[in-house]
Structure formats: structure tokens, C-alpha cells
Structure 1
Amino acid sequence: MAEFLQHCVNALVLGGTYALLGIGLTLIFGIMRVVNFTHGELYTFGAYMAFVLGSLLGLDFFLSLLLAATLGVALGAVIEFVLLRPLKGADIDTTMLVMIGAGIAMQASEQLTWGGVAKMVPHPFPPDPLVFGPVAVAPVRLFVLGVAVALLVAFYLLINRTRLGVAMRATFQDPDTAALMGVNKGLMYTLTFAIGSGLAAIAGALLAPIFLVYPTMGDLVSLKAFAIVILGGLGNIAGASIGGFVLAFVEEFGAGYLSSGYRDAMGFLLIIAVLILRPQGLFAAKERIG
């Protein structure tokens, strides 16, 4: 039982950041119909910004996380304005090729700037784990889980309880009608891509103190983000949230009870099963945003 509870806690910590990744990707696809192949690199960007701000510039750890997320939002807005906006009306193949090229360019830039040596991001939390009965949890992991859950709640409120959220959902459902009602479609697209990018960046910044930071760290993460979107159903934000936790639990328990070498394979075996048995996703709904 102690081992089971420990795996549950580990999966919850990882699931929170997976959910942030999945929401960011499905938000962009749901509203903009863009398959964002830079998502993993935006995750890497957030991790490197946490390293630069916290380690090289010596800023406060918590301020570094906030600034890393802000820079991720800004970079997302630039990508949308410079790369995607000129492609408005282009076929999906062209858009995909541009985004793939942007992802490759971003990774090459990180490799050139920081080299291939992995970096460590220091944090102010004590190294000794907190013990709750049979479960031991590092304080930094509890912090990551708390921030991830808070961000998920904040994002839910943004989408469902604010005028901006209404405008974003309206743009998703019927862009032309939303424009007739006074919604600025161009602004909605920029905000959507910026918010989705910021979620990827903060996920990378949050996990940077737990894992090492290196230029290719976004490759597998990008694949997992797409897997989460498939699990939740294309464009289903609630499904992406749940899908992130489902993937984390499958990986954690597969690694714990079968073999750690198959951690990543377990998640993708689940995706194959979902595509065969329920190709619309586990949590597909008629309304795919909200």
C-alpha cells in the first residue's frame, strides 16, 4: 500500500504539468486549427528561462518562474504574429511545414546558445522529503503540484467565467458570427497562441528544478502533449486536463510495477488502444471547449 500511495503522489505531480501541456496544445488547435509543432520547444524555452533568470542572473526563484511564463506568452504572441498571421487562409500542409521548421530552428538555437551539457536549476526548498505516513514527497514536488492545480483552476475560470473566455469560445464555435458580434478574431488568435505557449513555458519552468534542462528535452514532451490531446479528444480542454493525469498515472504505475524502461512506452500503448477503441478520445463531447 505504501508503494501504491507513493506512485499516486508521483503521478499527481507529473499529471499537473502534463495537463498544462495538453491544455495549451488543445486550446491552440481548438480555436486556431493549428497543429503547434513548436509546443515542445516552448516547454524547453520555459525551462531555459528559469535557468537563465534563477541561476545566471540570480533572481528570486518564484520571480523567475513568473518571468519565464511571461516570456513564454510573449514568444507565443511573436510566433503567431510573425509566422501564422501571414499564413491566414493557407492550406494545413503549409502551416504544418512552417511550424515544424520553427520548432527545428528553436531547438537549434538552444543547442547553439547553451551547448549540449545539461543544466540544473536551483530552488529554495529543503532537500529532505516531507513524510506523510508511508509517503515521502520532496517539498519542491508539492510546490509544483500546487502551482499546476492553481493554474488549472485559474484557466477554467478564465474560459468559463470571463468575457475573454466567452469571446474565445465564440471564436472556436463560429469565427464569422463572433466577428459580427464585435469579437476581434485576429486578437483572439494572438491571445490564444500566447496563452497556450505560456502554459507550455510554465510547465517547463516548473519541472526544471526537478529534471535536468537540455536542448532536446522538448522532443518527447511534444509527443506526450499530442498524446494527451488524443486522449482527451481534439479541442476538448476538460478532456486534456483529465488526459494529462491519465497519462501520468499510466506511466508511473507502468514504470513502478513493470519496468522503468517502459515508462514512456506505456503511455503510447495507451494511445494506440484509444485510437483503436475510441478514436474520438476518451472524453470527447459535443462542445469541445470548456
Structure 2
Amino acid sequence: MDQLLQHLVNTIIMGGTYALLGIGLTLIFGIMRIVNFTHGELYAFGAYMMYFFATIIGMNFFVSIAFAIAAGMVLGAIIEFTLLRPKRGADIDTTMLIMIGAWIVMQNLEHLSWGGIAKSINSPLPDAPLVIGPVSVSWLRVMVLLIALVLIAATYIVINRTKIGKAMRATFQDSNTAALMGININAIYTMTFGFGSALAAAAGALLGPVFVVTPTMGDLASLKAFAIVILGGLGNITGAAIGGFILAFAEEIGAGYISSGYRDAMGFVIIIIVLLFKPTGLFARAERVG
């Protein structure tokens, strides 16, 4: 029982950052109908920006997180403006090839800029873990969970309680009608891609100090983000959030009760099962953004 409680705590902590990854990816797909293959690299970019601000410059740790998220948003907006906007209306094959090319370029630029050696980010939080009964967890992971939950809540508020969110949902439902109603579709697309990119960068900035930062760290993160989106249903933000916790639970149980080598495999076993029996995802619905 003590071991199960520890695994559940670890699930909740990792699930928060997985949810950020999934929400960012499904937001972009739901509104823009773009399969964002750069999502994992934006995750890695957030981690490297965290390393740059917190370790190289020596900026305050928590301020560095905010700056890393902002940098991810700016980079996402640049990608949308320079690569995707000129091809607006092109077939999905064209946009997929563009995003795959951007993914390869970004990863190689990270390798060129930062080298292949793993980087570590020091945390100002105590090294001694927080112990509650049989459960032990580092203060850094507690901080990661709290910030992730705040960002998830903020995303829901933006999407469901603001004019920008209303414009995003209107664009998702019918972009032509939204344009006739005076909504600047190009601006909404740029903001949407930037917002989704910021969430990916946030996940990287939060998990960078927990693990290490490498140029290829985005590859597995990208696969997990797609797995989460498939679990939750394409374009379903609530489903993506829940899917993040489901994937984290599958990984934790697989690592704890089978073998640590099966941590990543367990999540994808669930994906295969879901695709076999419910191809639209566990939480698919007609209006998939919200």
C-alpha cells in the first residue's frame, strides 16, 4: 500500500506537466487543424531557455520560468507567422512536411547552439524531501505540480472566460463565419499557435530542473504529447488534461510493478488499445475545444 501511494503521488506530479503538453498540442490541432511536429522541440526550447536564464544569466529561478514560457510563446508565434501563414489553406500533407522540416531544423540548431552534453539546472528549493507518512517527494516536484495546475487553470479561464478564448472557439467552429463577424483569423491563428507553444515550453521549463536538458529530449516528449491527444480525443482540451494523468499513471505503474524499462512502453500499449476500441479517443465530442 505504501508503494502504491508513492506511485499515485508521482502520477499526479508528472500528470500535471503531461497535461500541459497535451493541452498545447490539442489546442493547436483543434483550432488550426495542424499536426504540430515541432511541439517536442518547443518543450526542449523551454528547458534550454530555463537553463539560459536561471543558470547562465543567474536570474531568479521563478522569474526564469516565466521568461522561458514567454520565449516559447514568441518562438511559436514566429513559426506560425513565417512558416504556416504563407501556406494557409494548403493541404495537410504540405503543412505536415513543413512542420517535420521545422522539427529537424530546430533540433539541429539546439545541438549546434548548446552542444550534445546534458545540462543541469540547479534549484533553490531544499534538497531534503517532503515526507508525509509513507510518501516522500522532493520540494522541486511539488513546485512543478503547483505551477502546472495554475497554468492548466489559467488555460481554461483564457479559453472559456475571455474574448480571445471566445474568438478561438468561434474560429474552431467556423472560421469563415468568424471572419464575417469581424474576428481577425490570422491573429487568432498566431495567438493560438503561440499559446500552445508556451504550454509546451512551460512543461520543458518545469521538468528541465527535475531531469537534465539535452537536444533530443523533445523526441520522446513529442510522442507522449501525441499519445495524450489520442487518449483524450483530438481537439478536446479537457480530454487532453485527463489523458496526461492517465499516461502518467500507466508509466508509473509499469515502472513500479513490471520494470522501469517498460515505463514509456506502457503508455503506448494503452494508446494501441484505445485506438482499437475507440479510435476517436476516450473523451471525444462534437465540440472538441473547450
TM-score category of the 2 structures, normalised to the smaller one? over 0.9
Whole-angstrom distance in 2 between the partners of 1:286 and 1:31: 13
Provide the rounded CA distance (Å) in 1 between the counterparts of 2:15 and 2:248.
Answer: 5
In the TM superposition, what is the alpha-carbon distance from 1:36 to its structure 2 partner? 0.3
Structure 2 length-normalised TM: 0.99
Specify the code of the residue in structure 2 equivalent to 1:181: M
2:279 matched residue in structure 1: 279
Q: Distance in 1 between matches of 2:230 and 2:18?
A: 13
CA-to-aligned-CA distance 1:59-88 (integer Å, 9 cap, x gap): 110111000000000000000000000011
1:1-290 correspondence runs (5 A): 1-290=1-290
1:221 partner letter: A
Kindly report structure 1 stretches of 4+ aligned residues shifted beyond 6 Å.
none
Aligned-CA RMSD value? 0.6
TM-superposed deviation, 1:192: 0.2
Q: How many residues align?
A: 290
Amino acid at match of 1:15: G
What's the CA shift string for 1:81-114, capped at 9, x where partnerless? 0000001111111110110000000000011111
Q: Distance in 2 between matches of 1:30 and 1:287?
A: 9
Secondary structure in 2 matching 1:131: strand
Q: Deviations over 1:153-191 (max 9, x none)?
A: 111111111111111000000001111111110000000
User: Which secondary structure does the structure 2 equivalent of 1:136 belong to?
Assistant: strand
Structure 2 unaligned residues grouped into runs of 5+: none
After the TM superposition, which of the residue ranges 39-48 and 151-160 deviates more from structure 2? 151-160
Identity %: 66
Q: Secondary structure at the match of 1:288?
A: coil
Question: 1:211-268 deviations in whole A, cap 9, x for unaligned?
Answer: 0000000001100100000000011111000000000001001110111100000000
SS of 1:242 mapped into structure 2: helix
Cα distance in structure 1, aligned partners of 2:84 and 2:168: 18
Report the Cα distance in structure 2 between the residues aligned to 1:12 and 1:141, rounded to whole angstroms.
10
Q: Which runs of 5+ in 1 are unaligned?
A: none
Alignment partner of 1:198: what SS? helix
